[in-house]
A and B are shown apart, each in its own frame.
Chain A
Amino acid sequence: MKKIKIDRRHFIKISSLSSGALAIGFMVPGLKELGTLSDDCEFFQPGAYLKIDKKGKVTVFVAKQESGQGVDTALPMIVAEELDVDFKDVNSEIAPYGTMKEGEHDTGGSQSVLDMYNRLRKAGAIAKAMLISAAADIWKIPASSCAADMGEVVNTVTMKRIKYGDLVCLAAKLPIPETVVLKNPKDFKLIGKSEKRAGLTNILTGKTKYGIDLKPEGTVYAIAVRCPVLDGTLVSVDDAAAKRIPGVLKVVSYKGTGAPMHVRAGVAVIATSTWAAMKAAGMLNITWDEGKNNKESTEQLFKTFASKAKETPAIPVYKKGDAASLSGKNEIAATYAEPFLAHATMEPMNFIASVKGDGCELWGGLQLPDWAVNTIAKDCGLKKENIKVNLSAMGGAFGRRLHFDFAIEAVRIAQQFDKPVKLLWQRTDDTMFSPYRPANYHALKANTDGKSKIFSWEHHVLGTPVAYKTEGTDTKNAPEMDGADAGFCYDIPNINTGYTGVDFNINLGWLRSVDICVNTFPVESFVDEIAKQLKQDPLAFRLSMLENRADFKIGEGPGAMTQSPKRVAGVLKKVAEKIGWNEPRKANHYIGLATHSFIFAKSYAAHAIEIEMLEPKKFRIVRVVAAIDCGTVINPDGLLNQMQGGLAFALTQTLKGEITISDSRVLQDGFFSYELLRYDEMPPVEIHVIESTEEPGGVGEVGVSTVAPALCNALAAAGERPRSLPIRNEGFRWV
């Protein structure tokens, strides 16, 4: 790939590139080495995605990177379904880097199942067809007289059976069929039934190796101290005291980079243990040149947003009808704000690099390994074919490892030492130097008929686009600023949306539910606000703009997406019914609703949240009801886990998640100041899944963004509407 623009469109580009390619990765270089055409016939490997050994054990090579979202289970289930094997005989392994087409390892945007579903089905079906052919040859009957069943081929005439394991040698010699018939989804036995996570016992016994746990032969440990201001430079370092710490091997410095990763200039201590490196790093005396942009603050940024919100948006996004001509008639206007956020994965960033001559070996977790390798090759003057990557499980990612700033750092440090260097970001580093979810601000305006209809909707999104950092401020690539765009689900005749980007000196990145978590809070709050002002029932009001609207396409060509307002309505009706929207409420109990679609991942979700007001501005969450429509469900248990976890993730950002900046420095330095939801704050939650035979959608992100507006709409029903997140800043308290 040449210049990669990483955003949702990037993912679309990749999936459309690969969808036309042959199903099971036969074009992959190095397949011979993997043993596909193994002459000694230890196993049968038709393509890059799976192999079957002589005992009938199946290994599925998972192209997508596991960070807790369960791809290591859902993707093998898809193969096993078409292959007709007992899932107990299926083993899940990380697909070695380099065995997939460029871009295929990319993991993000809730795209893993969407991207792999058809390919993995075909891969399983082709393997099964070849095993059936092998058995038919033995029995000297047509393949059509054979069937597959739980890891065996059955002769449907004699009812004799041969195990897959006994067929692998024959199957490996057969030609790969050019066409293959996939199962009718009605006949699915595995897809749609809950399976426990692959490797669960390893997780529970502490055997799972995350990047932080890897230790190649000779590993040494590094801790870096970075310039507190982005894009600053190193002036000098006094390392005399640091070098006196026992175990310290070397102190090295490295330069920062500009786009795309904005690695900060740093000084690293290399030592024989993490602890020695940590202690010594604390004793470095460094002078930085912070550059000109060292006085920025979030306080000023939000003032800038508020001021620019009154101007015309710099970049038009979407226009339908003529919203401006209606200006002033029964007008409602409101603003909403959301802060910078950090990913705060439990496994702090870390990476291992070993550089020897013109070769380089890397170990760790990366969501976009190809982009990382291409950039590192260029950055460090290495040939990309000389870079070996060992991908590992991630202790959470949520978009953090779409960036690979930590990997560039590790390579720059390892270039100055002749052993594998394990770079660890301390929690303070992880909180203070992350690529943050952009801060954003929304000015919304609507004109109504004064009774029950919205005539026009104007949405001005202001923010700090991620692409300002990955590409530069001349970019027009800012999907998280889209607001009410061409996919806007509500049927409103006049819409005018645009954004204004503000440059700000902090690194920026994509956080779980990238654009929808930015836009759903203002949109679903504002719809609710209008309903309240018009004295309309918030449920009926939304449904009146959704239920009669036909599905429509967004964009053209193979990348076009479909918005289904009926499915947006479907999840909303489900949560309303299950929480008892139309039933009498207890005194001081209030319910808030919110719904949305995440059409990029072909999934829809809504939340209904019931609260009890204990005092003015003090509440308790009584219960949370969620509904999701993601088409065909692969692993229901995995889906529930994503929705339950998505709620906790979203409550953190609704209640207390916030990164603030002063003098261009992040003021939070760990979990005491960047607080996450804790066990005793998790409310009761029930999840309802809409039954559907539509193609499967992604579920990792869709369950996040309706939580904040649902809770805020409940608070508004109780009397006072929060206008900014986290709501703690507006004096709201919870128990």
Chain B
Amino acid sequence: MPKFTLNVNNKQYTVEAESDMPLLWVLRDLLDLTGTKYGCGVASCGACTVMIEGNSALSCQRTVGSCVNKSIITIEGLSEDGSHPVQKAWQKAGVPQCGYCQPGQMMAAAAMLEKNKKPSEEMINTVMSNNLCRCGTYHRIKEAIHIAIDEINK
């Protein structure tokens, strides 16, 4: 099997994988970075959202071969201790119920705020509607995003 060198959370990893293996399964099965979640595998739920080169990306849609030499950030690298403004906002609003979709939700929100510190409601709606939450924590996600926006614009 071919080998690939990946930069995940500012660390170098070498993995042996079929070149079409989605980044999602490389992270989860080969690197044991299980914070990135499998939800659908077909870009319908956002549970596997990570950041690649600072952009929001669905790791189920990116092959390992396409991720070489790119900076990949997963929930484990957003901050180790939960100190990223988005994680702090999620903490303050008490967002999670089961919590399964929340890494993807936070990565989507963090990537959005990297690009735009004061996103419009319309943009927030568009971006966050890519991520499903079956527990229905949308009310608190909205609250948390506004807490995060306030925090980063202080």
B106 within 8 A of A: yes
Given A395-B37, A672-B44, CB of A276 within 8 Å of CB of B18: yes
Q: How large is the interface on B (under 10, 10 to 19, 20 to 34, 35 or more residues)?
A: 35 or more
Contacts of A346 in B (CB 8 A): 37, 39, 45, 47, 98, 100-101, 132-135
Residues in B with CB closer than 8 Å to A500 are none
**Interface centre among B30, B80, B134, by most A CB within 10 Å?**
B134
Interface membership of A29, Cβ < 8 A: no
Residues of A within 8 A of B79 (CB): 205
Given the complex, which residues of A lie within 8 Å of B116, measured CB to CB? none
Q: Please, which residues of chain B bring their CB within 8 A of the CB of A671? A: 39-40, 44-45, 132
Minimum C-beta distance from B132 to chain A (A): 5
Secondary structure of the B contact surface, majority rule = loop
Q: Is residue B14 within 8 Å, beta carbon to beta carbon, of the partner chain?
A: no
Which residues of chain B come closer than 8 Å to A187, judged between CB atoms? Answer: none
Q: Is B34 an interface residue (CB 8 A)?
A: yes
A204-B82, A679-B125, A679-B131 as given contacts; A394 in contact with B138, CB under 8 Å: no
Query: In the complex, which residues 94-116 of chain B have their Cβ closer than 8 Å to any Cβ of chain A?
Result: 94, 96-103, 106
Please indicate the chain A residues that have their CB under 8 angstroms from the CB of B78 in the complex. Answer: 205
- Cross-chain contact of B136 among A278, A347, A645 (Cβ < 8 A): A645
Interface residue? B75 (CB, 8 A): yes
Whether A427 and B96, one on each chain, are in contact in the complex, defined by CB atoms closer than 8 angstroms, is no
For A370-408 the 0/1 string (1 means CB < 8 A from B) is: 000000000000000000000001111110000000000
Distance in angstroms from A33 CB to nearest chain B CB is 30
**How does the 8 Å CB contact mask read for A400-440 relative to B, with 1 for contact and 0 for none?**
00000000000000000000000010110000000000000
**Contacting residue for A205 out of B35, B37, B42, B142, CB 8 A:** B35
B8 within 8 A of partner (CB): no
Contacts of A648 in B (CB 8 A): 133, 135-139
Inside 8 A of A424's CB, which chain B residues have their CB?
38
The minimal Cβ–Cβ distance linking A649 to chain B, given in whole angstroms, is 5
Number of A residues with CB within 8 Å of any CB on chain B: 62
A209 to chain B minimum Cβ distance, whole angstroms, is 7
Residues of chain A lying within 8 A (CB to CB) of residue B74? 206
Q: Does A647 contact B (CB under 8 A)?
A: yes
Interface centre among A197, A201, A206, A348 (most CB of B within 10 A): A206
Q: Which residues in chain A, 617-660, are within 8 Å of chain B measured between CB atoms?
A: 637, 641-642, 644-649
Chain B residue with minimal CB distance to A674? B44
Whether A68 touches B97, Cβ cut-off 8 Å, given contacts A398-B134, A682-B139, is yes
Q: Are A678 and B129 in contact (CB-based, < 8 A)?
A: yes
Contact with A along B116-147 (1 / 0, CB 8 A): 00000000011011011111111111100000
For chain B, residues 19 to 60, give those with C-beta under 8 angstroms from any C-beta of chain A: 21-22, 25, 28-30, 32-42, 44-45, 47
Q: Give, as a whole number of angstroms, the nearest-CB distance from A705 to chain B.
A: 14
**Cβ–Cβ < 8 Å partners of A278 in chain B:** 41
A208 contact from B90, B99, B138, Cβ within 8 A: B99
Binding site for B on A (CB under 8 A): 66-70, 196-197, 200-201, 203-210, 212-213, 215, 221, 246-247, 273-276, 278, 344-348, 393-398, 424, 426-427, 637, 641-642, 644-649, 670-672, 676-682, 685
A-B residue pairs, 3 tightest by C-beta: A206-B35, A648-B136, A395-B100
19 pairs from A and B in contact (CB 8 Å cutoff): A68-B135, A200-B91, A201-B81, A204-B106, A247-B1, A274-B28, A275-B21, A278-B41, A345-B98, A346-B134, A347-B100, A427-B44, A641-B140, A648-B136, A648-B137, A671-B39, A676-B134, A679-B138, A682-B139
